[in-house]
Amino acid sequence: MTREKPLTPCINICVIHRETGLCTGCLRTGDEIAAWGGMSNDERRAVMEELPERASLLKKRRGGRAGRLARDTN
């Protein structure tokens, strides 16, 4: 009997981006990560199909230290 390997986009870089709520490694939301173990492979595939569209949300530069200071003072 061969077991199907679980589908996961996880690359073991588990950091939730403060502004977008997305994991910077796999691009899933915290809710998706929490629910992942109980999802069917079809449900997982549906989420994974959406992930490439999310990448652009993390690609813009935030301005480094100067950008962080500007955000913190607003």
- Give the model confidence (pLDDT) of 38-73 as tens digits: 999 999 999 999 999 999 998 765 566 666 677 666
pLDDT (mean) for 23-48: 96
Integer Cα distance of 7 and 44 in angstroms: 7
pTM, entire model: 0.72
- Annotate 27-54 with DSSP letters as a single string: --BHHHHHHGGGS-HHHHHHHHHHHHHH
Q: Which residues, at least 6 apart from 55, have a Cβ–Cβ distance to it below 8 Å?
A: 27
Do 15 and 27 meet the contact criterion of CB atoms below 8 Å apart? no
Q: Is a pLDDT exceeding 90 seen at residue 20? A: yes
Do 48 and 9 meet the contact criterion of CB atoms below 8 Å apart? yes
Residue extents of the structural domains in the chain:
9-61
Integer Cα distance of 10 and 33 in angstroms: 9
